[in-house]
Amino acid sequence: MRLAAIPSVDRILQDPRLAPAVARHGRLLVVAELRALLAQYRAALKSGAALPPSADAILHGLLHRLDASMQPSLRRVFNLTGTVLHTNLGRALLPREAIEAGAAALAEPSNLEYDLAAGERGERDEHLEGLLCRLTGAEAATAVNNNAGAVLLALNALAAGREVPVSRGELVEIGGSFRIPEIIAAAGCALREVGTTNRTHLADYDKAIGAHTAAILKVHASNYAVVGFTAAPPESELAQLAHARGLPFVVDLGSGSLVELERWGLPAEPTPMRSLAAGADLVTFSGDKLLGGPQAGLVVGKRELIEQLRKHPMKRALRLDKGRIAALEAVLRLYLDPARLRERLPTLRLLTRPAAQIAALAARMRPALQAWCGDKAQVDVAECASQVGSGSLPIDRLPSAALRISSAAVKPAAIAKSLRAMPIPVIGRLHEDAVWLDLRCLEDEAAFLAQFEGRTL
């Protein structure tokens, strides 16, 4: 047994070359990582798989482990997937104004729930309600953790223990764990299925309403389209029917935009303004989808119903923290000046980026990528189509440009893996036996180029 050949923890710690690491990481972490490293060496020695390590090998191994343990889990990446609002890559990027407001709210005390004029307890919703009402035309507004939470809260507060009719064409799964039938069940309501998958008529809703009905729910099908022989009553007719039967009409818009996107040549998306004008009593939508803000679920509509949500215990459990309230307020303020919105709101800026500008960027980046690939792969500039993401219709595509990396020698999956192993991981898309890097969302050219310098595939 050569275990004695491994020096003790105390002896290694005396090596003066470790002093900077101890100063940086603290003694506790250095000792813990050193013990774990020595245990590995001992196991390898026992199994005869290795020779005793040199003092230098131990030192280098330890420094490597310390670096790895300090690497944050949540890291910056380059989103070159072509999906602008990519749920797995963090959705909307906040404008500078919102980041500064959020950081300031986290660093200092604030009037989060304090009425400065009266000198008494205030309401955290107040920082957002005025702006939301002004922008949507609603009477009242509230905000919670995310849109899934907003739907859960609205259903539980208005309809627990009773029935909610929903069209069979709207019983959708939005991705991950948001499925309409399940959220209705989780809210303690009974789903009443109405009509058919492709066609649902007002008369179907009328028949479904009975003594146990609590509200009519309409869900924007988001990332799923029913096309062809289809029918669905307009929101205005659903609102009329609901009101004639003494029920609230609730609309889950999902993404929901606060501006008409056609103005910038983008595919049309439903807006809370239009749903409210059609007679909806509550409209819910996300903060970090097309709105371009922090994760949040917004609810706008009738004052009496919003008050009901506010008083509900679930509201407390789903409430927004001060950092996001500050960031959301700053983003909503940008909407007061729609003429400058495109330059100030990153989501809108990326969605409206001209294809010719992206193609020019791709041409500039191509030589650096080709140098990284050497003669192992070819890089060319190719036309492609980006998507909005996060529940906007996947059939609406935005013309864009990509760096396409293809190779006879290296598998696309292996190239994609190398790109993900960069200091700032580069996330692309595999398509037609190549790696596609859609450059629509690449704004930091310098950081992107810098990390390819001196590296090879």
Tell me which DSSP letter residue 319 carries.
P
Q: CB of residue 400 vs ligand PLP: minimum separation in angstroms?
A: 23
Give the shortest CB-163-to-ligand PLP separation in angstroms: 20
- From 297, 301, 323, 412, residue interacting with ligand PLP (rule: CB under 6 A): 297
- Measure the CA–CA gap between 239 and 361, rounded to whole angstroms: 48
Cα angle: 135, vertex 295, 68; to 5 degrees: 150
Q: Which listed range, 73-81, 116-124, 215-223, 418-426, lies at the site for ligand PLP (CB under 6 A)? A: 215-223
> Rg for the chain (alpha carbons), in Å?
28
Residue 223 CB, nearest approach to ligand PLP (Å): 7
Dist. CA 449–CA 357, nearest whole Å: 18
Nearer to ligand PLP by Cβ, of 250 and 358: the residue is 250
* Interface segment toward ligand PLP; rule CB under 6 A; list 78-86, 216-224, 333-341, 366-374: 216-224
How far, in Å, CA of 160 to CA of 9, rounded?
61
Instruction: Report the alpha-carbon distance of residue 357 to residue 85 in Å, rounded.
Output: 20
Residue closest to ligand PLP when measured from CB atoms: 254
Q: Name the token pair of 397.
A: 């595509």
- Closer by beta carbon to ligand PLP, 87 or else 352: 87
For ligand PLP, the closer CB: 219 or 381: 219
CB 210, min distance to ligand PLP, A? 26
Closest approach of Cβ 336 to ligand PLP, in Å? 23
Select the span of 8-16, 248-256, 321-329, 376-384 touching ligand PLP (CB under 6 A). 248-256
- Pick from 84, 209, 219, 280 the residue near ligand PLP by CB under 6 A: 219
Smaller CB separation from ligand PLP, 252 or 281: 252
Rounded to whole angstroms, the Cα distance separating 244 from 210 reads 13
Give strand pairing partners of 143. Answer: 298
Task: Say which residue the tokens 């809210």 belong to.
Answer: 187
Is residue 391 a contact residue for ligand PLP (CB under 6 A)?
Answer: yes
Considering beta carbons, is residue 149 or 428 the nearer one to ligand PLP?
Answer: 149
Supply 7's token pair: 């020096």
Give first-to-last CA distance, the chain, whole Å.
42
Nearer to ligand PLP, 220 or 404 (CB): 220
Across the strands, what pairs with 144? 297
Q: Which residues contact 188 (CB under 8 A, 6 or more apart)?
A: 155, 156, 160, 161
Q: How many residues lie near ligand PLP (CB under 6 A)? A: 15
Which residues, 6 or more positions from 91, have their beta carbon under 8 angstroms from its beta carbon?
85, 288, 289, 295, 389, 390
Q: Which is nearer to ligand PLP, 146 or 387 (CB)?
A: 146
d(Cα 78, Cα 97) in Å, to the nearest integer?
22
Q: Give the CB-side neighbour count of residue 405, counting CA atoms within 13 A.
A: 33
271: contact with ligand PLP by CB under 6 A: no
Residues 53-112 that bind ligand PLP (CB under 6 A): none
**Pattern 166-205, ligand PLP, x by CB under 6 A:** --------x---x---------------------------
409-425 per-residue burial string, b: 16 or more CB within 10 A, e: under 16 = ebebeebbebbeebeee
Which of 233/391 has CB closer to ligand PLP? 391
> Is residue 220 a contact residue for ligand PLP (CB under 6 A)?
yes
Contact string 123-152 vs ligand PLP (x = CB under 6 A): -----------------------xxx--x-
**Sign of torsion, CA 195 201 203 205?**
positive
**173 phi and psi angles, rounded to 5 deg:** -110, 130
Question: How many whole angstroms separate alpha carbon 98 and alpha carbon 110?
Answer: 16
Which is nearer to ligand PLP, 147 or 347 (by Cβ)?
A: 147
CB of 376: closest distance to ligand PLP in angstroms?
Answer: 40
Query: Counting contacts by CB under 6 A, is residue 323 touching ligand PLP?
Result: no
Indicate the residue among 25 and 168 with the shorter CB distance to ligand PLP. 168
| 85 CA to centre of own chain | 7
Question: Which chain residues interact with ligand PLP by CB under 6 A?
Answer: 146-148, 151, 174, 178, 219-220, 222, 252, 254-255, 286, 297, 391
